Structure 1
């Protein structure tokens, strides 16, 4: 927001209203200033508060020893002591604001209800932060992206279990927040190259597909390549002959021709390099990261909607993580230690095949809708 000139002042219509939790924090602090002995019953910490100034006031209260009731009713020693201590964390805090907090407390006896409201809003903000961490882990490159993403997902699941224990269930536990569309898949040059090589390896050595049931067509970043992989897999699972010509014929029955010209289908499956399992793991890793990012964005959307109760956040987030868990199970199956049935190559480089070319590969036509 631009700074106003001395003659125009602030436009109050552009100032966003305070959220309900702000008033709950004021009411609770007012109740604690009126009756400091209620501190033992609220079980809150300064981290629960959205306002830094309110967090400083509660921190000051927890640092001090409440006065005796007889002293508290005769003199404002408690408010003065709280203000002095709170100014160490919030230098701009005025003494008048503490008196304002007292006046803004509707019913001091409702302090436990105000505390529950603050706890619920803190849960929503914390879930939002956890979802942001999951999205970041799925987006930023790390030496071991799968382990990083799954660790973030585990931390989020543990937090959801904690929330489920703190907040009771209620009818209508599913959130009604409209979800955003899934993010775009990473269909760049590297993904396209790896998926093309995988198709060629699968056609050249179709027996490998019996050990790769953990890979699905939906894992492919380029949907057209995923549908072509389904054609190869179906031929192999039926025990039919698998070669470039039979794959082209199967692709025609799946409606991929002429969306993908015959010559391009034959070229795609003509140059295998490395092992199909390696390239399949690369495709599945990219699918795992995409699903983690999708889950994080959806959970973040739930947390951004203040209409959702904590239990609605729990149920909606758990359902979202279930989709990630399905891909995770296939990832663990794919990356388990090699067995005797799995072919071994002399080196990792031999298994992986050559590096992707630095030049941009030829663009494959996509089907038009």
Structure 2
């Protein structure tokens, strides 16, 4: 078993030993934070029994924990999962080193849940981005990017930290995966856009503020757009020959990125004469999907690093998503929207019932207080309730 499996068992074992520990976990530890379905069902059953004022969870309850706490929990959990037996709670109790350490075990469970949640939503964003690249759209990409951003914000508040983008150190920077595939239509749109700008260079004025060279998937197209921008910036004539000359000066012919024949073909007299802004938006939309795919790969790689604490993972993931925010802002400018910039930062407020962050530790003991004995594994007799009902 993994350390996370042991942590889930210990957390539930602590709650079987001392139901009063639910008061220290129920505001921030949720059933879905448990990985194993049986553990999810058991914890949900405990929360339900607590809400229904089960005698074992009463604030003034004293004495041994009644066996009904175990039997009622098993009965309720069995409505939602299969395979639970009366023996399993006793195995969970035996896996719990100290019942008063329940908040720490709960933190371990929550930490595992945060890594799994980030992984799942990063995978969904990556799949949506690849699908949009094939269709030439970005609606699903934007939708899943907002979901991932909101999930990171929610996880930050549950963990007890503020979501803020932070660059990871070099040693923890994930390696860039293979670039997403480029559809033939996407490359055709880039070539047609460059042809439009070569034949009608005045259209550059409507694009230079929101379309960047890196938005082009093809390296040769990036160099040609840089050459067009440089000529436009210097106020020099733009035609097939001046573009070829400027591209040569930038070394794109020497390093093999472009050839003379390719440039002349794209910028020839029969090149596209359509509206450059339309094809510019198509190029930017494809750039949005590619940027999202790359960011999703980086977030997934971060989530795979078990050594990252949840706060680090959340903030590093937000930093990985920041290039996507920039492309979305430029897309907003390209479309001429007047309703304000698109939402890019997390907007999820902290849960109102969060009275104690997940970072809570066991309360320090007063000098001179006695250390309680370690709880004994439960057998066929009623579980001995710790002498301290209130959280220690």
TM-score by length of 2: 0.75
Partner of residue 213, structure 2: 217
Partner of residue 180, structure 1: 175
**From 148, 157, 164, the counterpart of 2:140:** 148
Partner of residue 52, structure 1: 37
| Contact 2:136–2:286 (CA under 8 A) maintained in structure 1 | no
Partner of residue 294, structure 1: 294
Q: For the residues of structure 1 that align with 2:151 and 2:182, how far apart are their CA atoms?
A: 33
Q: For the residues of structure 2 that align with 1:173 and 1:295, how far apart are their CA atoms?
A: 13
- Aligned partner of residue 176 in structure 2, secondary structure: coil
What displacement does 1:295 show? 0.8
Q: For the residues of structure 2 that align with 1:131 and 1:53, how far apart are their CA atoms?
A: 26
- Aligned partner of residue 272 in structure 2, secondary structure: coil
Does 1:19 find its partner at 2:2? yes
What displacement does 1:160 show? 2.3
The structure-2 alpha-carbon separation of the partners of 1:222 and 1:96, relative to structure 1 and needing over 3 Å to count, comes to: same
What displacement does 1:140 show? 1.6
Q: For the residues of structure 2 that align with 1:62 and 1:34, how far apart are their CA atoms?
A: 15
Q: For the residues of structure 2 that align with 1:233 and 1:174, how far apart are their CA atoms?
A: 33
What displacement does 1:174 show? 3.6
Question: Equivalent residues in 2 for 1:241-320 (5 A)?
Answer: 241-257=237-253, 259=256, 260-270=258-268, 271-320=271-320
| Contact 2:136–2:285 (CA under 8 A) maintained in structure 1 | no
**From 93, 100, 115, the counterpart of 1:109:** 100
Q: For the residues of structure 1 that align with 2:47 and 2:156, how far apart are their CA atoms?
A: 27
Q: For the residues of structure 2 that align with 1:152 and 1:75, how far apart are their CA atoms?
A: 47
What displacement does 1:167 show? 3.2
**From 65, 68, 85, the counterpart of 2:76:** 85
**From 22, 47, 67, the counterpart of 1:62:** 47
The structure-2 alpha-carbon separation of the partners of 1:49 and 1:279, relative to structure 1 and needing over 3 Å to count, comes to: same
The structure-2 alpha-carbon separation of the partners of 1:337 and 1:78, relative to structure 1 and needing over 3 Å to count, comes to: closer
Give RMSD over aligned pairs: 2.5
Does 1:239 find its partner at 2:231? no
| Contact 2:295–2:324 (CA under 8 A) maintained in structure 1 | yes
Q: For the residues of structure 1 that align with 2:309 and 2:79, how far apart are their CA atoms?
A: 35
Partner of residue 165, structure 1: 157
Partner of residue 371, structure 2: none
| Contact 1:128–1:300 (CA under 8 A) maintained in structure 2 | yes
What displacement does 1:75 show? 5.0
Structure 1 residues 281-290 or 136-145, which shifts more? Answer: 136-145
What displacement does 1:70 show? 6.7
Q: For the residues of structure 2 that align with 1:283 and 1:293, how far apart are their CA atoms?
A: 15
What displacement does 1:199 show? 1.2
- Aligned partner of residue 95 in structure 1, secondary structure: coil
- Aligned partner of residue 246 in structure 1, secondary structure: helix
The structure-2 alpha-carbon separation of the partners of 1:280 and 1:305, relative to structure 1 and needing over 3 Å to count, comes to: same
For structure 1, the residue ranges without an aligned partner over 5 or more in a row are: 1-17, 339-369
| Contact 2:187–2:218 (CA under 8 A) maintained in structure 1 | yes
Aligned residue pair count: 320
What displacement does 1:148 show? 2.6
What displacement does 1:204 show? 0.8
Partner of residue 38, structure 1: 21
Partner of residue 325, structure 1: 325
Q: For the residues of structure 2 that align with 1:78 and 1:313, how far apart are their CA atoms?
A: 37
Structure 1 residues 324-333 or 290-299, which shifts more? Answer: 324-333
Structure 1 residues 154-163 or 293-302, which shifts more? Answer: 154-163
- Taking CA–CA contacts closer than 8 Å with sequence separation of 6 or more, which of the two structures ends up with the larger relative contact order? 2
Q: For the residues of structure 1 that align with 2:221 and 2:105, how far apart are their CA atoms?
A: 55
